[in-house]
Amino acid sequence: MHEFAVRVYYEDTDLAGIVYYANYLKFIERGRSEWVRGCGIDQMGLKASQGIVFAVRRVEADYLRPARFGEDLTVTTRADAVTGARITLSQQVLRGTELLFDAKITLACLSEAGAPARLPSAIRTLLNQG
């Protein structure tokens, strides 16, 4: 499981000092990007060399508790399944051990033109190890 630290800044919050709901999606996007990087994959290099990009196809999200301005959070990312053209992930946002946000994400592998593309086996192996 990959972990990524996030601090809640004023810009992340609403007038009550609570994280605006859409910003959780930004937090987990950063966590996913760092997870892919941590797997040894350069996304820009993958695009340049093989014309492959990842796109979010589905998000299933549960907002459980609010995060607030100034708090330190952790985004966790775990691969549930990596197939020929799809990646399914579980992501969570925690404050310490307290679960604030829980999401299931499906990523599609696409060509630069937006058509479905197969993940190279070497990339699938790296993602499965991450």
Return the pLDDT at 82.
92
Annotated catalytic residue: which of 12, 14, 62, 80? Answer: 14
3-state secondary structure of 51: coil
Return the pLDDT at 34.
95
Question: What pTM was estimated for this model as a whole?
Answer: 0.90
Among left, alpha and beta (phi > 0; psi -120 to 50; other), residue 40 is: left
CATH topology of domain 2-129: Thiol Ester Dehydrase; Chain A (3.10.129)
Return the pLDDT at 124.
86
Q: What is the mean pLDDT for each group of 10 consecutive residues in the chain (130 residues)?
A: 96 93 96 93 88 93 96 97 92 98 96 88 84
Return the pLDDT at 125.
86
Distance CA 18, CA 9 (A): 10
Return the pLDDT at 65.
97
Tell me the two tokens of residue 87: 């990646």
Return the pLDDT at 129.
79
Return the pLDDT at 3.
96
| Closest by Cα among 99, 48, 93 to 73 | 93
Annotation says 80 is catalytic: no
